[in-house]
Chains A and B, each alone.
Chain A
Amino acid sequence: MRLLDFLAQTIRIAVPYLFAAAGGVMAEKAGIVSLALEGFMLSGAFCAALGGFYTGSATVGVLSGIAGGLLFGLLHSVATIRYRADQIVVGIAINLLVVGLTRFFLRLAFDSSSNSPRVPGYTTEVSGGNALLGSFANPLVWMGLLVIPILTWVMYRTPFGLRVRAVGEHPQAAETLGVRVKRVRYVAVALSGVLAALGGVYLALDQHQFTDGMTAGRGFIALAAIIFGRWDPARAGIACLLFATAETLQIQLQGTQAIPSQFVQMIPYLLTIVALAGLVRRSVPPAALGRAE
């Protein structure tokens, strides 16, 4: 049973990473630097809590979260594609903006500076109290586990995926072949916002409330997973599972004081730097990543 609990906890931790990493791969494959994953997630979490609270329905919560991610995904794409603003700056600005907006509307909607009231979620209590089975009662867990296989299929087996990869590798060539580069990028970044936001939606519904800054750097762990996974959806997904396993181990070992928690927290970031420096095997981004045209 211990093993099943361990698996269940790993999956619970991995789901937000998987969503955010899928979103990040989508945008970066299209050539748009994705530093706003954290902001997308937080917007999804807040909108899900808002929608869920006012309607009492978890499904409306999910849809609101998707709308929130779409909104900020579009804001990101308008700024970077229409106005050609620096992609790194836009990513950072959106992260700051979403933190401010969620705090402001937390006060406006719930008159609180820290958290929302309890919001509906998906039941995770299953007869017998089996944690692993319980996790799978949540449709967002299914979606999170399926998002990477689906993304892999979309990226490598559909015309849309081919276009996304083309505009990320060589936009001029894609343009010559009749691909509408800007439109593909708009769609990819908007979808990226939605996917990452679902990671935040999962967090809010799983904890049955929104708390200030609840994404706590998960968007950057997802970014680390993307780079560690060399911009490949499947490898990025495996990296997410790896990071989640390390985190679960750390939580399980917490009582024993074997390793300071701060060192476990460093693992994803250290591995990313190692991967980027090519000390193991070089991680190479899409060729046109970060170029406006």
Chain B
Amino acid sequence: MTATTPPVAASQGPPPSASVVAPSQTGAWRTRIEETLLPPLVALLVAVVAGDILILSFGQAPGAVYRLLLEGTWGNAYGFGQVLYKATTLVFTGLAVSFGLRAGLFNIGAEGQLAAGGFAAAVVGLLLPAGVPALLAVPVLMLAAALGGGAVGYVPGVLKARFGAHEVIVTIMLNFIVLALLNWIVAAKLHVPETLHTPQLKAGAVPRFADFITPFHGSAANVTFLIALVIATAVGWYLFRTRGGYELRATGLQPEAAEYGGVRVATVWVRTLALSGALAGLGGINYVLGYKHYYEEGFAGGAGFLGIAVALVGRNHPVGVVLAALFFATLSQGGLAIHALVPKQMVEVLQGIVILAVAAAVPEVRRVLRLSRGSADA
């Protein structure tokens, strides 16, 4: 049931599994690197082929469409800014999902946690007196977002630890419950008339990149992107350099063995899902503090679900997550760029294909590598 996720970075723990059959340390490293990099490359190849078919079916030339996609994203400051903006939320949700997967927990609730985090930040931002300096207000709102998302993540953690309820189902169901609840609160109590959003924050807005770098003008990229990079570093440090992270990864590799080794697995489950929810919830500040300065119904817009794709392609490593977030953000911004030639919905198809291909390629690559190693040794 758990996704197969070999650790990729230098781990201080024991070898990840007995399946590494390479004879030497360098061989093990090569296997690991191949197992990490091959699936995304295979997926990219499959996606390009599928993309070609879709583009040709619409009567356009693939080369022209891909060129337009790159020009509209990394080719100009505005497009690049939009990529950074979209990647920011995905870094948070991707980190959230991969944090859980490292402990063998599949958090599908990032969508609801993201919304809850954004909502909590927006509400606390309304309660703060106007004129609170950003240096104080921003951390307070970040804490609110983390607590909002963390509270939603805590529920499946407790239900799993106490009653054995499977976190996949609970987090799916909680998505619907949380979104319905937030919709009701906003619709019944908090919305600005004629809209589906809350009033603007009184304090705690985060500056946009365009405020210092003029070419970014018009794009929503903001300082939250830098915060996301700091958080990604912190997650990497926690996972690979602390005792808590070691317990988390041990639980993910083999819960029974971890328990036998003195790890309180139930506690790790609750803590991990709560922290995973907090990471997803923090993603809400990108929209609420950095872009619109209010909570709006539906602002999560699938970024929580795409976080699963980001974690999968990024192989559950913070560096991979940041790169995968940039990749998926490029696709979704690229969709807008190519819309003149091909419907932008093409990128949604490609996202689905990339996820499927990576999911199928991960076990397959490992099997093929092991077979070829086996025959080479013999």
A residues sitting closer than 8 Å to B (CB atoms) are 33, 35, 75, 79, 83-90, 92-94, 96-101, 103-104, 106-108, 113, 217, 220, 223-224, 227, 260, 262-263, 265-266, 269-270, 272-273, 276-279, 285, 289-292
Contacts and interface: CB of A to CB of B under 8 A. Distances in A.
Label chain A's interface by main secondary structure.
helix
A232 to B, nearest CB: 16
Contacts of A75: 356
Contact of A277 (B159, B187, B343, B351): B159
Given A266-B181, A273-B169, 18 more contacts: A79-B356, A83-B364, A84-B363, A85-B356, A85-B359, A86-B3, A87-B1, A88-B168, A89-B359, A93-B352, A98-B352, A103-B348, A227-B169, A262-B183, A265-B176, A270-B173, A276-B169, A290-B1
Contacts, number: 149
Contacts of A101: 349, 352
Most chain B beta-carbon neighbours within 10 Å: one of A100, A277, A285: A100
B246 to A, nearest CB: 24
Nearest to A276: B165
Most chain B beta-carbon neighbours within 10 Å: one of A87, A88, A106: A88
B348 A108 contact: no
Nearest to B312: A89
A260 to B, nearest CB: 5
B351 A88 contact: no
Interface in B276-326: 305, 308-309, 312
A94 B355 CA distance: 9
Contact of B180 (A96, A220, A262, A292): A262
A277 B159 CA distance: 6
Contact of B108 (A86, A92, A262): A92
Interface of B: 1-4, 54, 57-58, 106, 108, 159, 162-166, 168-170, 172-174, 176-177, 180-181, 183-184, 187-188, 305, 308-309, 312, 343, 345-353, 355-356, 359-364
Contacts of A273: 159, 165, 169-170, 173-174, 177
B64 to A, nearest CB: 18
B353 A97 contact: yes
Contacts of A260: 184, 188
Contacts of B361: 83
Contacts of A85: 356, 359-360, 362-363
Nearest to B351: A96
Contact of B163 (A84, A277, A285): A277
18 contacts: A79-B356, A85-B359, A87-B1, A89-B308, A90-B360, A93-B356, A99-B348, A100-B349, A100-B350, A101-B352, A103-B345, A217-B176, A224-B173, A269-B176, A270-B177, A273-B169, A276-B163, A276-B169
A220 B305 CA distance: 15
A223 B312 CA distance: 24
Most chain A beta-carbon neighbours within 10 Å: one of B58, B183, B349: B349
Nearest to A75: B356
Contact of A104 (B164, B349, B360): B349
